[in-house]
Structure 1
Amino acid sequence: MGLISVLWGIVALLWTLLAFIPLLGWGNWFMIPFAVVGAIVAAIGAAFSSPGRRGRAKTGLVLNVLAIAIGVFRLVIGGGVI
């Protein structure tokens, strides 16, 4: 599950970068729930992994939370959240 969450986080961050292009900011509305699911997968992976093997799950969690934070910030400054 750790590898899946890392890949999910990378896709979410790439999607976030794409949503910074003008007129594509609406992509954040779809990326944020996508990244939330990735964060949930990462949290489950971290919970069920042994303490020595949680690195990928923690990395996936960080990537997904970062994508969520950037997406929400972009929506707030761009007027997407009124």
Structure 2
Amino acid sequence: MRAVSLILGILAALGLLLGLLPFFGWLNWIFVLPPAILGLVFGVLARDRGATTLNVVVAALAALRLMLGGGVL
């Protein structure tokens, strides 16, 4: 489960890079938050601190981007 969590975290981080661009914030709802939260669950179940931290950071940055953009952009 550790590998699944890391893969989901890395894919979510790559999606976050695209979601930080103007007018692409909506990608955070589809391609960043769900995989990051799922990866977080797998990381907690695997008791892997690195994977859990990666997913928490990605989810927090995506949520911050959504708050700053008003949740739409």
Shorter-chain TM-score: which interval? 0.7 to 0.9
Q: Does 1:79 align with 2:70?
A: yes
Letter of the 2:49 partner, please give it. K
State the AA in 1 paired with 2:23. L
Instruction: Give aligned pairs, total.
Output: 71
Residue number in structure 2 paired with 1:23: 23
Flag structure 1 segments of 5+ consecutive residues without an equivalent: 47-56
Runs of 4+ in 1 over 4 A off after TM superposition: none
Q: Which is greater in Rg?
A: 1
**Equivalent in the alignment of 1:64:** 55
Gaps of 5+ in 2: none
Root-mean-square deviation over aligned CA pairs: 1.2
TM, length-normalised to structure 2: 0.88
TM-score (norm 1): 0.79
